[in-house]
Amino acid sequence: MATDVHRPVISQAVHVEGLTRSFDGRAVIDDLRLDVRPGEFVVLLGRSGCGKSTLLRILAGLDRDIEGTVLVPRRKAVAFQAPRLMPWKKVWRNVLLGLPGKPERAVAEQALDEVGLGHRSNAWPKTLSGGEAQRASLARALVREPDLLLLDEPFGALDALTRIKAQRLVGELWQRRGCAVLLVTHDVEEAVLLADRVLVMDGGVIAHEQRIGLDRPRDITDPRFAALRAGLLERLGVEATAAEAA
């Protein structure tokens, strides 16, 4: 099959067909198919080591040693669990890092404002809290004005309260920006809170798909929320407690 990576597409934000990625002769991704609509929020769940990060890295263009077809928009951005800020550059310079041309500081400050970090624009990365550093990393993604935002466990290292705030922020940014989002997480509640569609990866493919038809903002005390959460946990091989399943 032809390998056709990173050509801009219009009808889908992501179109993946027949994707295979092997390490040492073992296919971690094995003939995978995936479509994401423009503006859709998709969450990818799966057991540790099932290939979620590998898939995200391929979509981000960071791994091209693949077979199959991968079509994604030219404007895409990625944020990882570790914010990956350069310690020797002020926050605003980090936000502009790698952008083509000579973008003005105001471009960074607008994105920092959008994530509630405008007041730390001139700070050094080491003076930021974990949540602030993660927001700076999001601002760096936003200045790219992505049609596709790829998020690899961006809240994984945050404490519970900061995590809730960061989840809300990503939900708001997505609604404001209208870009497609593909978010990798281990957190089933986060998936039901944010996603239009949750995908469960297993055996190198998308093994299960769950639409989340609940209105936003979502109410975690809604019994339908609990039922979706329990259903996904079951898919992941985790028994929900009786209280959770109720």
**Residues interacting with ligand ATP, by CB under 6 A?**
23, 28, 46, 48-54
Location of structure tokens 């790829």: 150
Least CB distance to ligand ATP at residue 66 (A): 12
Nearer to ligand ATP (CB atom), residue 17 or residue 187: 187
For residue 35, the surrounding DSSP H or E stretch is strand 26-36
Residue 82: closest CA among 133, 126, 132: 133
Least CB distance to ligand ATP at residue 199 (A): 12
Nearer to ligand ATP (CB atom), residue 44 or residue 173: 44
**DSSP string for residues in 75-91:** SEEEE-SS----TTS-H
Nearer to ligand ATP (CB atom), residue 62 or residue 86: 62
Least CB distance to ligand ATP at residue 219 (A): 28
Least CB distance to ligand ATP at residue 152 (A): 8
Location of structure tokens 């329990």: 230
C-alpha–C-alpha distance, residues 72 and 15, integer Å: 7
Nearer to ligand ATP (CB atom), residue 131 or residue 204: 204
C-alpha–C-alpha distance, residues 222 and 193, integer Å: 11
